[in-house]
Chain A
Amino acid sequence: AQTVTQSQPEMSVQEAETVTLSCTYDTSENNYYLFWYKQPPSRQMILVIRQEAYKQQNATENRFSVNFQKAAKSFSLKISDSQLGDTAMYFCAFTRREYGNKLVFGAGTILRVKS
């Protein structure tokens, strides 16, 4: 079974600084997709960034970027120039190339951005 591990239950960062959230996963598949979702206090789940396993280039979306290490099965999220609005729970998620697009989530990391 696929598993996703987020080893940092909580993190904090000063406004304008950079923070990295860790995620590791376990799979025997070669073709799969990885995602980071943000859940602010509003409870809404917001897709932050996605990575396709067959692409070696790390995905980037504005201030958000990933460090995808396929051999190590690691998928960390880097947030640059942190803003107060980045305060949220962040979930790492995995889906393999299969029927149904079933997402497997990590337990989440609470990120607090301090002013």
Chain B
Amino acid sequence: NAGVTQTPKFQVLKTGQSMTLQCAQDMNHEYMSWYRQDPGMGLRLIHYSVGAGITDQGEVPNGYNVSRSTTEDFPLRLLSAAPSQTSVYFCASSYADRAAGYTFGSGTRLTVV
């Protein structure tokens, strides 16, 4: 059971570079989300999706793009990396039943220099 797979686990970017964080789940979950974790702030929602072709913004969407062409994949794109985007990023997925809770990937530690 792979669950939620995130790649890469670590990444260092220079300011202005772009990159894509990959996320895939094999549980046929309808909902997928991206969160960022910063010290003292818990996890904050960046973007989320309720199904293929449907995405929406979360609490901190600026500087990030997402798309969801399949149920399984939900990549997060950083268009022009900034030091403020240094963080740990988590992808998560769940069934539409809210009581089930989210399953999280193992996270990506991103450093922008």
Contacts and interface: CB of A to CB of B under 8 A. Distances in A.
Interface of A: 4, 33, 35, 37, 42-45, 47, 50, 52, 91, 93, 95, 97, 99-108
A101 B96 contact: yes
A106 B31 CA distance: 21
29 contacts: A33-B98, A37-B104, A42-B106, A43-B88, A43-B109, A44-B107, A45-B92, A45-B104, A45-B107, A47-B101, A47-B102, A47-B103, A50-B99, A50-B101, A91-B42, A91-B43, A99-B50, A100-B31, A100-B48, A101-B94, A101-B96, A101-B98, A102-B58, A103-B35, A103-B43, A105-B35, A105-B42, A105-B44, A108-B42
Nearest to A1: B59
Nearest to A46: B104
A102 B33 contact: yes
Contact of B102 (A42, A97, A103): A103
A97 B98 contact: yes
B99 A33 contact: yes
Contact of A100 (B41, B56, B101, B106): B56
Contacts of A4: 42
Contacts of A35: 101
Given A44-B107, A45-B92, 10 more contacts: A33-B98, A42-B106, A91-B42, A100-B33, A101-B31, A101-B94, A102-B48, A103-B102, A105-B44, A106-B42
